[in-house]
Amino acid sequence: MSDRAAIDQLTEATLAALRAPSVLNTQPWRWTFLGDTAELRLDADRRLGALDPDGRLLLLSCGAALDHAVAALRAGGYAGSVERLPDDTRPELVARLRLGARCVADPRNHEAIYRRQTERRPFAEKPPAAADLDALRAAAGRHDARLRFLTPDELTSFADIAEVADVVEHAEPSLLRDLRTWTTRPADRRDGLPGRTIVPDTWRTVPTRTFRREHEQLGSGTDGGTAYGVLLTERDDRRSWLAAGEALSDVWLTLTGHRLVASPISEVVEVSSARRALRTLLGGSDHPAIALRIGVPADTAAPPRTVRRPNSDALGFPGQS
């Protein structure tokens, strides 16, 4: 393949990666092209200073972007070759991505990139099929992570943990400031969470984040069939958070392909006491990276779309700001 064609493939993959989910739609990434390589760098200015002091959600978001890019390469018949966190002296360098070996083209996750959305409304009464949940466990297992679904016995404790985390976040001014900042961004920034994507509070088995800024309708779901999953990693370090982000993307794209919908519950890992309590609830060994509610959509109309920054803001060549 000519250099030109390789660059086109990589460019297409990074464009697909800009659709990735990110915490509060912060889009904390930038792709830089160097010959046959696309470097994924984190944008520390987009880290949530109080909600995410260690950068775990930032790396989860970058991991999701990386997996989106690999999904796009696989659709074009390339396996993708990834060096993760390759340089300890450059903590902003998340990954180097090259085309990698030729493989059988697999368009499934790539197609899902353009349909996947965060669905915050209650889901249908009907639960996801067991075979679908197996496929999601397998998706997480392709990365250094494990997807563990909560049993009915664990749900009350999980709900308590989520509720306490939400109360803590709304009682602490610096945490509240992060939430406010990223839910009231000027439209021309093309980032953050627009009010039209936030749904009103309602009674739920497991409470979701209270944004206190809401426009979208609740829809007709009951959440009765919702499955709650937690992505777990063996360690609790930057490599694990990156792997969990890749797993989050793979799980989310896979469930989209299976006509399911989801929304993350990250307050249970943002608040350290909640994170510890969740770890204990799940056996005390592996570390929770993020939780997800997963279900069958109750409404046929998709929720409003979030926006992304202009491509020129998030892609570039060395020396460009």
Ligand X SMILES: Cc1cc2nc3c(=O)[nH]c(=O)nc-3n(C[C@H](O)[C@H](O)[C@H](O)COP(=O)(O)O)c2cc1C
CA pair distance 285, 287, nearest whole angstrom? 7
Answer yes or no: are the C-beta atoms of 118 and 23 closer than 8 Å: no
In degrees to the nearest 10, what's the CA dihedral of 307, 308, 311, 317?
170
CB of 136 to ligand X, least distance (A): 16
> Of 207, 264, 288, 295, which one interacts with ligand X (CB under 6 A)?
264
**Is the Cβ of residue 166 or residue 286 nearer to ligand X in the bound state?**
166
DSSP letters of 157-181?
A: HHHHHHHHHHHHHHHSHHHHHHHHH
Answer yes or no: are the C-beta atoms of 238 and 44 closer than 8 Å: no
> Of 51, 57, 145, 247, which one interacts with ligand X (CB under 6 A)?
57
Residue 38 as a binder of ligand X (CB under 6 A): the answer is no
CB of 40 to ligand X, least distance (A): 15
Answer yes or no: are the C-beta atoms of 182 and 213 closer than 8 Å: no
> Of 64, 69, 113, 298, which one interacts with ligand X (CB under 6 A)?
64
> Of 30, 84, 120, 287, which one interacts with ligand X (CB under 6 A)?
120
Which helix (H) or strand (E) is 39 found in, with range? strand 37-42
Q: Which stretch binds ligand X (CB under 6 A): 160-168, 213-221, 230-238, 265-273?
A: 265-273
**Is the Cβ of residue 128 or residue 207 nearer to ligand X in the bound state?**
207
What are the φ/ψ torsions at residue 98 (nearest 5 degrees)? -125, 170
> Of 13, 17, 18, 24, which one interacts with ligand X (CB under 6 A)?
24
**Is the Cβ of residue 121 or residue 146 nearer to ligand X in the bound state?**
121
Q: Distances in Å between the alpha carbon of 247 and those of 136, 200, 207, 292? A: 9, 29, 24, 12
CB of 25 to ligand X, least distance (A): 3
Contact residues toward ligand X (CB under 6 A) are 21-25, 57, 60-61, 64, 117-118, 120, 193, 209, 263-267, 290, 306
